[in-house]
Amino acid sequence: MAPVLIDTSVLVDAERRGDPLEKRVGDADRAISVITVSELLHGVHRAESEARRLVRRAFVEQLLARLEPVPVSTQVARVHAEIWARLEADGQIIGAHDLWIAATALGHGMALVTSNARDFERVPGLTIIAL
């Protein structure tokens, strides 16, 4: 099976439910975007209590120890610009972070595993694995 890019929504669901990542994603080679890293760390900083912050930080650090984040490259930026212009022209724009995550998946030839298929379905050519 080809490698998959895991969207933030899947990881947030896994953290909230206490599910192991394998239960949600299976045995495919997995990666995350650096944008997902930022979104997850943002959640750490927004935690409503110190106890919750510690749990979230532990979850994120455990993920980062297992998954190498895919950086934004010039190729990803080119894909991002094309998708952005196309969606904007069609009046179908999606969130800025989701746009970068979609561009990362497309730029690296990966399917996107997400719990937010509704928004990502607007992106032409993106293979989505909806959970």
Bridge partners of 111?
4
Cβ contacts of residue 31 below 8 Å, gap of 6+?
3, 4, 5, 6, 67, 68, 69, 70, 108, 110
- Domain boundary assignment for the chain: 4-130
Domain boundaries 4-130, corresponding CATH code: 3.40.50.1010
Tens-binned pLDDT, residue by residue, of the chain (131 aa):
678 999 999 999 989 988 777 776 777 789 999 999 999 999 999 999 999 999 999 999 999 999 989 999 999 999 999 999 999 999 999 999 999 999 999 999 999 999 999 999 999 999 999 98
pTM score of the predicted model: 0.93
Give the pLDDT confidence score for residue 1 in this predicted structure. 62
Residue 126 near residue 103 (C-beta atoms within 8 A): no
Q: At what angle do helices 96-107 and 34-45 cross, to 10 degrees?
A: 150
> What is the 3-class SS of the chain, one letter each residue?
CCCEEECHHHHHHHHHHCCCHHHHHCCCCEEEEHHHHHHHHHHHHCCCCHHHHHHHHHHHHHHHHHCCEECCCHHHHHHHHHHHHHHHHCCCCCCHHHHHHHHHHHHCCCEEEECCHHHHCCCCCCCEEEC
Give the pLDDT confidence score for residue 81 in this predicted structure. 98
Give the pLDDT confidence score for residue 26 in this predicted structure. 72
